[in-house]
């Protein structure tokens, strides 16, 4: 069994729990994912599986990629990523995994590329409070002083300043799986996940020990 | 079928009593007091309906001891056991927020024939 899947964020909606409370949820279409390559300790120095997201739409692979995918018996993979896997289970090239590797109540982490915000100021980017809007204030959303003059006479590295915000790899940790729709490969996960609808995300199991005892290097 | 609709399907109450904006309704709400559950009624005019699918909601406004009270209910909530339509009101818009500014006789809705 692999410990994660590649999916596509479909969008958000809401559902109800047993007590009747409203829970915001994100719907993710997870899989089908095919194992493309097994990475082993002997050959690659670590143990993992390389899996690819197979979507119905056929897309062209170039010849090196087609050759790489041949062993798994697929023509094209939209996205290829590596995951850890349970080495006791039967996983080999060509095995397919669907959303049902997750169960209701599981904790998962979801990795996505956050929405790009462009060149953002310090109020939006770092949560600075900003200055007064009125009463003659001429200091509205400025960053303020970036450092003193004589000492240290330079701006410290890592100073929070305006710049490009978003479009980063972001992990949302410990989200709960609310529902699994096996026939349509849908995962319903509580809360928001990074990125726009239609974006690709990685869903990983949380309670997994990434380095099983036997693969640990001496 | 849209993939989100598939997920929402299990939450949507198919047997919901249909009602419109301007109707006077009695909402049977489940109230939890510790372990015990009981039904409380909330009667008032539906002044707005919002949203689609399982996230649809509606707003009920009533005058309680001279004070306007509005409650927003999720349409498909399990906490709503029943909705009774008491009266159909005749209204010309989808959101009756203008009622908030009106008092007494002016804040009444005409009954639809």
Residue A64 shares a structural domain with residue A135? no
Contact with chain A for residue B74, Cβ under 8 A: yes
Residue A140 shares a structural domain with residue A76? no
The CATH code of the domain that includes A199 is 2.40.30.10
Chain A residue numbers with beta carbons less than 8 Å from the beta carbon of B3 are: 10, 27, 29, 184, 186
CA atoms within 13 A on the CB side of A78: 18
| Tokens 């896997």 sit on residue | A85
Residue A181 shares a structural domain with residue A204? yes
pLDDT tens for each residue of B31-79:
988 888 899 999 999 999 999 888 899 999 999 998 999 999 999 988 8
Taking the whole predicted model, whether its pTM rises above 0.95 is answered as no
Number of domains in chain A: 2
ipTM for the predicted complex: 0.80
Residue A157 shares a structural domain with residue A193? no
A146 within 8 A of A199, measured Cβ to Cβ: no
Residue A130 shares a structural domain with residue A200? no
Contact with chain B for residue A59, Cβ under 8 A: no
CA distance B41 to A73: 62
Residue A53 shares a structural domain with residue A112? yes
**Chain A residue with minimum CA distance to B74:** A22
Domain span at A156: 121-165
Residue A103 shares a structural domain with residue A51? yes
DSSP characters over A120-176: E-HHHHH------SSTT---SS-------TTTT-SPPTT---SEEES-SEEEEEEEE
Contact with chain B for residue A105, Cβ under 8 A: no
pLDDT tens for each residue of A132-161:
999 999 999 999 999 899 999 999 999 999
Contact with chain B for residue A181, Cβ under 8 A: yes
Residue A65 shares a structural domain with residue A133? no
Residue A20 shares a structural domain with residue A43? yes
Residue A35 shares a structural domain with residue A77? yes
């Amino acid at each position: 069994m692999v410990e994660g899947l590649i999916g596509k964020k479909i969008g958000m909606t809401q559902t109800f729990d047993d007590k009747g409370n409203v829970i915001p949820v994100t719907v993710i279409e997870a899989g089908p994912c095919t194992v493309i390559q097994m990475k082993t300790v002997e050959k690659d120095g670590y143990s993992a599986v390389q899996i690819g997201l197979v979507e119905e739409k056929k897309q062209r692979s170039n010849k090196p990629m087609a050759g790489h995918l041949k062993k798994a018996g697929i023509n094209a993979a939209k996205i290829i990523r590596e995951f850890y896997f349970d080495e006791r289970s039967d996983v080999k090239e060509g095995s397919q995994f669907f959303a049902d590797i997750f169960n209701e109540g599981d904790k998962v982490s979801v990795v996505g590329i956050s929405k790009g915000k462009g060149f953002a100021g310090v109020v939006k980017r770092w949560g600075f409070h900003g200055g007064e809007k009125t009463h003659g204030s001429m200091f509205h959303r400025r960053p303020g002083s970036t450092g003193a003059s004589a000492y240290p006479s330079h701006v410290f590295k890592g100073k929070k300043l305006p710049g490009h915000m978003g479009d980063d790899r972001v992990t949302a940790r410990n989200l709960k799986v609310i529902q699994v729709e096996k026939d349509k490969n849908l995962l319903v996960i509580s809360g928001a996940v990074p990125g726009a609808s239609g974006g690709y995300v990685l869903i990983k199991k949380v309670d997994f020990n990434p380095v099983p005892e036997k693969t640990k290097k001496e | 079928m849209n993939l989100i609709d598939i997920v929402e399907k299990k939450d949507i109450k198919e047997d919901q009593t249909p009602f419109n904006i301007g109707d006077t309704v009695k909402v049977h709400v489940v109230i939890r007091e510790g372990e015990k559950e009981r039904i409380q009624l909330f009667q008032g005019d539906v002044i707005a309906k919002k949203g689609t699918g399982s996230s649809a909601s509606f707003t009920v406004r009533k005058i309680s001891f001279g004070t306007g009270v509005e409650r927003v209910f999720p349409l498909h909530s399990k906490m709503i056991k029943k909705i009774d339509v008491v009266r159909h009101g005749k209204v010309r818009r989808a959101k009756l927020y203008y009622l908030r500014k009106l008092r007494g006789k002016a804040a009444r809705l005409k009954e639809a024939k």
